[in-house]
Amino acid sequence: MQNFVFHNSTKIIFGKDQEQVVGQESVAYGKKLLLHYGGGSIKSSGLYDRVVSSLKEQGVEIFELGGVKPNPRVSLVRDGVALCKENDIDFILAVGGGSVIDSAKAIAAGCKYDGDVWDFYTGKAAVTDSLPLGVVLTIPAAGSESSAGTVITNEEGSYKRATGHISLRPRFAILNPVLSYTLPSYQTACGVTDMISHILERYFTNEKNVELTDRLSEATLRTIINNAHTVLEDPTNYDARAEIMWAGTIAHNDLLDTGRIGDWGSHDVEHEISGIYDIAHGAGLAIVFPAWMKYVYKHDINRFVQFANRVWDVEIDLNNLEKTALEGIKRTEQFFSSIGMPIRLEEVNINEEHFDEMAKKGTERGPLGNFVKLQEKDVRQIFNLAK
């Protein structure tokens, strides 16, 4: 096990009706607040009104910026930075999912920087400080509610890039599973796929002797798998929604990382796809992850056998470990398909046209992943397996 420091400072406020404390939690950071949200789901669900009234009760002055799109755009982030700087905003409240939270984080970092916020995503500048932010989560998926990362798309050149800094970890995140009742099934399934992928990125490591984090990961994976069909068939099942929501945070709050180095190649490959084609991140992962697994499993067949056995209950065939490993990959793919996710690029109408370009762009800053280092030609092969 590697040395590590684990410091996740996000205060999690979990359970029914908990959005009612948002005013109290926010006012601790100042009286001028930017309320950031997406395309309107928070208005139709009534959440917007509840959040605004809680903020007003505390005498908070609210500035608003809605309209964040899935795969959030840097152009809106720039508008947000300008709005915050003009009005001396103290605090940013993101009400929504990963896209809104990531956009809020980008604005928070941009407020403490004189240059263009996109510099953080190209590596030209590093985030060193940001405005404090808080979250009311409406979709369990990206784990951004307690992560230090943000992923933004630049419409010019269709680049989707990530950056991170400890100051970007939300100060608090309100997780009310009831808020996820209104999710369309497709978004629920995308979220489930994303959180599973966050665990798998960490699970496939070259680090030996990481039994605790292996087993925590397996337990979290099994919990998500056990509850996924329930929330799809019975969207207002509180207990199942609660398991999924908490698992989404645990999957990406860095606990499962401790003592090991994760892979993250599949995420980088997926970002190339959603950067160009604007598909949902979870859907892209359902296509990329099984293809990546098929490409790399021989690198450490025992780890794939362990995964097949402990997560999918595949019986280990000691005479044919490859068969066991491949069965685990097949079950993963079948599961994604069973929850309504695409598992091949052709299902989302993506053909070979941009394969070369995506493989080149994806690796222009170096090889991707850690479990196996993926060069441009490897990424190209993964696209072939995902066709």
Which residues contribute to the site for ligand NZQ (CB under 6 A)?
Answer: 38-42, 70-71, 96-100, 102, 138-139, 141-144, 147, 149-151, 179-180, 182-183, 187, 190-191, 194, 252, 267, 281-282
CB closer to ligand NZQ out of 13 and 308:
13
Give the closest residue to 197 by CA, choosing from 99, 286, 280.
286
Does 194 bind Zn ion (CB under 5 A)? Our answer is yes
User: What's the number of CA atoms in the CB half-sphere (13 Å) around residue 188?
Assistant: 27
The helix (run of H) or strand (run of E) holding residue 135 is: strand 133-137
State how far the Cα of 38 lies from the Cα of 134, in Å rounded to an integer: 15
State how far the Cα of 217 lies from the Cα of 219, in Å rounded to an integer: 5
Q: Count of residues for the chain? A: 387
Contact status, residue 281 vs residue 301, Cβ threshold 8 Å = no
Give the closest residue to 196 by CA, choosing from 224, 216, 219, 215.
224
313: three-class secondary structure by DSSP:
coil
Core vs surface per residue 171-191: b (16+ CB within 10 A) or e: bbbbbbbbbbebbeeebbbbb
Q: How far is the CB of 240 from ligand NZQ (least distance, A)?
A: 15
CB closer to Zn ion out of 25 and 194:
194
Selected range binding Zn ion among 51-59, 148-156, 193-201, 293-301, rule: CB under 5 A: 193-201
Q: CB under 5 to 8 A by kind: which of Zn ion, ligand NZQ, none does 362 bind?
A: none
Q: CB under 5 to 8 A by kind: which of ligand NZQ, Zn ion, none does 26 bind?
A: none
Q: How far is the CB of 116 from ligand NZQ (least distance, A)?
A: 20
Q: How far is the CB of 314 from ligand NZQ (least distance, A)?
A: 27
CB closer to ligand NZQ out of 245 and 291:
245
Q: How far is the CB of 340 from ligand NZQ (least distance, A)?
A: 15
State how far the Cα of 280 lies from the Cα of 226, in Å rounded to an integer: 23
Residue least distant from Zn ion (Cβ): 194
Q: How far is the CB of 39 from ligand NZQ (least distance, A)?
A: 3
Does 268 bind Zn ion (CB under 5 A)? Our answer is no
State how far the Cα of 161 lies from the Cα of 150, in Å rounded to an integer: 8
Contact status, residue 73 vs residue 153, Cβ threshold 8 Å = yes
Q: How far is the CB of 77 from Zn ion (least distance, A)?
A: 19
Q: Which amino acid is at 282?
A: G
CB closer to Zn ion out of 194 and 243:
194
CB closer to ligand NZQ out of 252 and 260:
252
Q: How far is the CB of 159 from ligand NZQ (least distance, A)?
A: 13
State how far the Cα of 282 lies from the Cα of 304, in Å rounded to an integer: 22
Q: CB under 5 to 8 A by kind: which of Zn ion, ligand NZQ, none does 80 bind?
A: none
Does 333 bind Zn ion (CB under 5 A)? Our answer is no
CB closer to Zn ion out of 26 and 144:
144
Q: Which amino acid is at 115?
A: G
Q: Which residues bind Zn ion (CB under 5 A)?
A: 194
